[in-house]
């Protein structure tokens, strides 16, 4: 079963705007990861945030984690057309090392 | 670094055929590989976890006799869809990882399987 739920399911923005998507999960986690998937391709790892971290940055990406609310957000700043993709959060839980449970994903479309 | 190659990228075959999909870690040794299935516009569903030299661990509801997994070396895992039928048509994705906490998985580009 899926651990996480993401919202929105779809997001359409213009280049230069920021895109924010959220992920909620149900059980305690070891870490939370965000991945990007271009249409018909595999997943590309974006950021991993540990359960004891609250915020992490990588380039134009900013991830926050609130373990009290069991939620995370991914912010893409100054979006580009190349950011068009589906974005998934995934969690590893308990002692099931490496087993990822993915959220439903947010489909982001960035128009020039 | 951390490149995972998946082959083939696209397969079309007749019902009843068995199809083998390869997943290779090109520049690192993967102690564990994972196989996922993804339906259109849906998320990834973990099918099985494959450790080198041991039997794969299948998720609930996944038929191990239908989806045979072999992890013969630290750089290669294969998924064989046996006697494939149209309902097996899907996008199959593998990932590879090195044992150790808080490390990301590295994904192949997926295999689109279409059974006629």
pLDDT band at B31 (very low <50, low <70, confident <90, very high): confident
* Residue corresponding to tokens 């739920």: A5
Q: Are B83 and B25 in contact (CB under 8 A)?
A: no
Is the confidence at residue A83, as pLDDT, over 70?
yes
Residues of B contacting chain A (CB within 8 angstroms)? 4, 6, 32, 34, 41-46, 49, 91, 93, 95, 97, 99, 101-110, 112
pLDDT the model gives residue A7: 86
B46-99 per-position pLDDT tens digit: 999 988 888 899 999 999 999 999 988 889 999 999 999 999 999 999 999 876
Q: Are A22 and A104 in contact (CB under 8 A)?
A: no
Q: Which residues of A touch B35 (CB under 8 A)?
A: none
Rounded to a whole number of angstroms, the distance from the CA of B45 to the nearest CA of chain A is 8
* Least CB–CB distance from B104: residue in A33, A42, A99: A33
Contact (CB<8Å) A98/B93: no
């Amino acid at each position: 079963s899926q651990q996480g739920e993401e919202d929105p399911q779809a997001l359409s923005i213009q280049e230069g705007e920021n895109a924010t998507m959220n992920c909620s999960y149900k059980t305690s986690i070891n870490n939370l990861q965000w991945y990007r998937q271009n249409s018909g391709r595999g997943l590309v790892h974006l950021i991993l945030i540990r359960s004891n971290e609250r915020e992490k940055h990588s380039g134009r990406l900013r991830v926050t984690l609130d373990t009290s609310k069991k939620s995370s957000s991914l912010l893409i700043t100054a979006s580009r057309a190349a950011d068009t993709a589906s974005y998934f959060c995934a969690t590893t839980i308990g002692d099931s090392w490496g087993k990822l449970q993915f959220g439903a994903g947010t489909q982001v479309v960035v128009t020039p | 670094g951390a490149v995972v190659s998946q082959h083939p990228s696209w397969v079309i075959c007749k019902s009843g055929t068995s199809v083998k999909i390869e997943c290779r870690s090109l520049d690192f040794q993967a102690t564990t590989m994972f196989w996922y299935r993804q339906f259109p516009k849906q998320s990834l569903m973990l099918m099985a976890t494959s450790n080198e030299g041991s039997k794969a661990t299948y998720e609930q509801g996944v038929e191990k006799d239908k989806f045979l997994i072999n992890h013969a070396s630290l750089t290669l895992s294969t998924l064989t869809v046996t006697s494939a039928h149209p309902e097996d048509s899907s996008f199959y994705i593998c990932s590879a990882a090195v044992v150790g906490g808080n490390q990301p998985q590295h994904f192949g580009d997926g295999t689109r399987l279409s059974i006629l």
